[in-house]
Amino acid sequence: MTGARDAVMGRVNKALERGDGAEARARGRVAAWLADPEPNLIPRRGLRPHEGRVGLFREMAERVQADVARVPRWRDAPAAVARYLRDRNLPQKAVMAPDRRLDRCDWESQPLLRLSRGTALGRDEVGITLALGGVAETGTLVLASAPERPTMLAYLPETCVVLLATSRIQGDYEAAWRALGHELDRLPRSVNLITGPSRTADIAQELQLGAHGPKRLCIVLVDEPEA
Partner 1 sequence: MEPTALAFKDNARKAIANPDLQDALGRIRSGWQVTRRRAALALDEFEALRDRGRDIKNHTLAHLDLYLEAFEAKVEENGGRVHWARDAAEARTVVRDICKEAGAKTVTKSKSMVTEEIALNPYLEANGLTPVETDLGEWILQVSGQAPSHLVGPVVHLTKPEIAGIMQKELGGPRLETAEEMVGAARRVLRQKYQDADVGITGANFLVAETGTAITVTNEGNAELTHGLPRVHVVIATIEKLVPRMLDAFTLLRLLARSATGQEFTSYTTLVSGPKGKGDLDGPEAFHVVLLDNGRTKMLGTAFQEMLRCIKCGACMNHCPVYLAAGGHSYGWVYPGPMGSVLTPQLLGIEKAHPLPNASTFCGRCEEVCPVRIPLPRLMRLWREEAFRRDLVPPTARRGLRLWGWLAARPALYRRAAGLASGALRLLGGRRGRLRRLPLAGGWTGSRDLPAPEGGTFMAAWKRQQGRRP
Query: For residues 31-50, which are near partner 1 according to CB under 8 A?
Result: 33-34, 36, 40-41, 43-45
Can you tell me the distance from the alpha carbon of 78 to that of 176, in angstroms, rounded to the nearest whole number?
26
Interface with partner 1 includes 8 (CB under 8 A)?
yes
Q: 27 vs 83, which CB is nearer to partner 1?
A: 27
**Least distance from C-beta 29 to partner 1, angstroms?**
7
Residue 77 beta carbon to partner 1: minimum distance, rounded to whole angstroms: 22
Using the minimum distance from each CB to partner 1, give the nearer residue, 43 or 72: 43
Q: How far apart are CA 127 and CA 115, in angstroms?
A: 10
Binds partner 1 (CB under 8 A): choice among 70, 90, 106, 213? 213
Give 3's Cβ-side CA count (13 Å radius). Answer: 0
Could you tell me how many residues make up the chain? Answer: 227
Question: Among 51, 100, 185, 205, which residue sits at the site for partner 1 (rule: CB under 8 A)?
Answer: 205
Indicate whether 73 belongs to the interface with partner 1 (CB under 8 A). no
26 is a contact residue toward partner 1 (CB under 8 A): yes
In the region spanning residues 111 to 140, those forming contacts with partner 1, defined by CB under 8 A, are: 118-119, 122, 137-140
Residue 108: partners with Cβ closer than 8 Å, 6 or more residues away: none
- Does 89 engage in binding with partner 1 (CB under 8 A)? no
Residue 40 DSSP label: P
- Of positions 127, 134, 171, 214, contacts partner 1 by CB under 8 A: 214
- Residues 158-177 contacting partner 1, CB under 8 A: 172-174, 177
d(CA 66, CA 223) in angstroms, rounded, equals 19
Would you tell me how many other CB atoms lie within 10 Å of the CB of residue 174? 16
Nearest-angstrom CA–CA distance, 175 and 152: 25
Quick check: 151 binds partner 1 (CB under 8 A)?
yes
Q: Do 84 and 91 contact (CB within 8 A), yes or no?
A: no
